[in-house]
Amino acid sequence: MSFATLPSSSEAAIDLPPRPRSGLAGLRRELAGNPLGLFAAVVVALAVLVALIGPWIAPYDPTIPDFMAPLSPPSAAHWLGTDQTGFDILSKILAAPRYDLGIALSGTLIALLIGAPLGMMAGYNQGRRTVLGAAGETVMRLADIVQSFPVFVLALGLVAMRGPSVVNVVIAVAFVSTPQYLRLFRSETLGLRSRAFIDAARTAGLSNLQIARAHVAPNVMGVASVQISVSIGFAVLLTAGLSFLGAGVQPPTPELGAMVADGASNIVTGAWWPSVFPGLAICLIVMSFSLVGDIVAALLDPRRRA
């Protein structure tokens, strides 16, 4: 056998699924050169930790007011002051992420579980005159209709129809977030379905469902992880906005948007702390989740691989 006729390594290259980047090593390199990203990652980690143990480390019960100290300014007894009813601001801020992040994570997870399979189905069968092809087109047209409405107005209308509650806010967040994942998974699947490794899997006899589960989904989830981080921050902001208008989480449940709304009327009297501190907490959480999404995007960028 003559080895002179063997193709070179570049000529014999095969279109294989992208290799995942080393997660821990890449994360360390990215955070080492990005102080703002490191700060955002710390804030996200602290927010998740506070959501888990916040009510137990709060100096006061966030559901029991001190009627003897309404609108007390920040002091040694109340580090962030109290609101007009006497609730300790710090205790409510420590208890609120359990509901804000809980709603955001639940709504985002539901949107992902609905949008991912429908988006992959629509992308994999686009242009094919089959039942699944028609179903995919119908789903995308419905997504167009949903996205034609302003997101906040649509969420407000959904909660108004069903009534203000934690469950209904989760449903509203999931409903307005699902089209984003539909389009993301559809576009990524369209780019993958013509790749050689997909053709090889089809030639090997794998069904469309097996190809989607074994080859399409793992390659799309890397890109989707960026959207997940951004969506959580957006969901926190949406939850706070609904509660600010009285259509979200209802008192006495501690929630950051409701705290801002309760304290807004006292700003003109000089009592700024009941609304400013919860507002800063919202800004930190939303900004940090967005920055973490940028870090994930950088980790997935093949041009930045070592």
* CATH number of the domain where residue 138 is located: 1.10.3720.10
pLDDT at 25: 63
Q: What is the full DSSP assignment across 119-159? A: HHHHHHTTT--SHHHHHHHHHHHHHHHHHTS-HHHHHHHHH
From the CB of residue 88, how many other CB atoms can be counted at a distance below 10 Å? 26
Q: Which pLDDT tens digit goes with each residue over 215-225? A: 888 888 777 88
Residue showing tokens 């039942």: 131
pTM of the model: 0.84
Distance (Å, whole) CA 10 – CA 7: 8
Q: Which pLDDT tens digit goes with each residue over 35-72? A: 888 899 999 999 999 999 998 999 999 988 888 889 99
Tell me, yes or no, whether 35 lies in a domain: yes
Tell me, yes or no, whether 1 lies in a domain: no
pLDDT at 23: 55
pLDDT at 185: 92
pLDDT at 140: 93
% residues pLDDT > 90 (the chain): 53
Q: Which domain range does residue 29 map to? A: 24-53+90-304
Reported confidence tier of residue 293, pLDDT bands at 50, 70, 90: confident
How many angstroms separate the Cα of 90 from the Cα of each of 72, 78, 181, 195, 252?
12, 8, 36, 54, 15
Tell me, yes or no, whether 19 lies in a domain: no
Tell me, yes or no, whether 61 lies in a domain: no
DSSP character at residue 216? I
Which amino acid is residue 240, in one-letter code? Answer: A
Tell me, yes or no, whether 5 lies in a domain: no
**19: pLDDT strictly greater than 60:** no
Total tally of structural domains belonging to the chain: 1
3-class DSSP state of 182: helix
Tell me, yes or no, whether 274 lies in a domain: yes
pLDDT at 260: 94
Tell me, yes or no, whether 254 lies in a domain: yes
Tell me, yes or no, whether 81 lies in a domain: no
**Span 225-234, average pLDDT:** 90
Reported confidence tier of residue 5, pLDDT bands at 50, 70, 90: very low
> Do residues 231 and 177 lie in contact, with contact meaning Cβ atoms separated by under 8 Å?
yes
Q: Which pLDDT tens digit goes with each residue over 64-121? A: 888 888 999 999 999 999 999 999 999 999 999 999 999 999 999 999 999 999 999 8
Angle (CA) 154-141-169 rounded to 5° is 25
**Span 185-209, average pLDDT:** 84
